């Protein structure tokens, strides 16, 4: 099984510098152009997918629709487990607003990141359980070596999917830059009786032609 992972295009929340999480935010005109750009690139450079899945949040759902329209490939099925990591009370706030209202967030160690339970959001372990459900469903439906699947979602949840797919044991801390419409190919195979993946390519938008792309929005997903 191959999984093509794509982060959504620029959203209004991204453009305003707001931490989104489950906060729903549509694409900007730039975000739609980015989605068309990655769709055109995937049609030329990526294998054709037989199934597609997307987060139901507007920024990912619209990106997936544009990609499928650009390629003419299978339309996406919405999967609630592909929602972004929920950030609770921090959602919708800018970096300065978070630092001002919740200084504890700025003080946390790197090993504490990815857990928003303290702010009424998702706990790290809950997010990992979501990731395991996603990978288990995909493996059950598409384990054949020739199967290719597209997944369009968010930087936070896609990052956790990559960690779970390629690392044993899964590390708490790992760094992978993931700008808007970055595309990643995970290739799953049996390795010493363990079904896991390797990152075959990880391509940012600015390597897909058509001019420079914006920098990663980091935690402001």
- Angstrom distance (rounded) from CA 157 to CA 146: 25
The answer to whether residue 217 is domain-embedded is no
Query: Could you tell me if 104 and 90 are in contact, meaning their C-beta atoms sit under 8 angstroms apart?
Result: no
> pLDDT class for 213, splitting at 50, 70, 90?
low
Q: For the segment 98-119, what is each residue's pLDDT rounded down to a tens digit?
A: 999 999 998 999 998 899 999 9
pLDDT > 70? residue 220: no
91 burial class (0-12, 13-18, 19+ CB within 10 angstroms)? buried
* pLDDT mean across residues, the chain: 93
Identify whether 47 is part of a domain.
yes
Is 96 inside a domain boundary? no
CATH number of the domain to which 144 belongs: 3.40.50.1240
Range of the domain at 164: 2-86+124-207
Question: How many CB atoms are closer than 10 A to CB 97?
Answer: 14
pLDDT digits (tens, 9 = 90+) for 147-163: 999 999 999 999 999 99
Do residues 12 and 218 lie in contact, with contact meaning Cβ atoms separated by under 8 Å? no
Q: How far is it, in rounded angstroms, from Cα 133 to Cα 172? A: 18
Say what the pLDDT of residue 214 is: 52
- The answer to whether position 193 is within a domain reads yes
Q: How many domains does the chain have?
A: 1
Distance of CA 74 to the CA centre of its chain: 19
Does the structure show a pLDDT above 60 at 216? no
- Could you tell me if residue 106 is inside a domain? no
Q: What is the pLDDT of residues 117-140, one digit of tens each?
A: 999 999 999 999 999 999 999 999
Structural domain contains residue 100: no
């Amino acid at each position: 099984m191959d999984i093509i992972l794509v982060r959504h295009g620029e959203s209004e929340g991204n453009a305003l510098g707001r931490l989104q999480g489950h906060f729903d935010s549509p694409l900007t005109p730039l975000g739609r152009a980015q989605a068309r750009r990655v769709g055109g690139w995937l049609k030329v450079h990526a294998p054709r997918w037989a199934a597609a899945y997307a987060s139901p949040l507007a920024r990912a759902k619209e990106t997936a629709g544009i990609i499928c329209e650009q390629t003419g490939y299978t339309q996406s099925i919405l999967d609630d487990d592909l929602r972004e990591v929920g950030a609770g009370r921090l959602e919708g706030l800018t970096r300065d607003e978070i630092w001002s209202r919740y200084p504890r967030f700025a003080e946390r160690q790197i090993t504490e990141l990815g857990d928003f339970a303290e702010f009424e959001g998702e706990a790290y372990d809950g997010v990992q359980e979501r990731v395991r459900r996603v990978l288990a469903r995909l493996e059950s439906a598409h384990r054949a070596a020739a199967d290719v699947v597209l997944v369009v979602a968010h930087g936070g949840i896609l990052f956790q999917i990559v960690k779970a797919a390629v690392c044993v044991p899964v590390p708490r801390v790992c760094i992978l830059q993931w700008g808007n419409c970055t595309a990643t190919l995970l290739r799953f195979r049996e390795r010493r009786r363990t079904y896991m993946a390797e990152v075959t390519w990880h391509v940012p938008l600015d390597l897909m032609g058509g001019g420079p792309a914006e920098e990663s929005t980091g935690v402001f997903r």
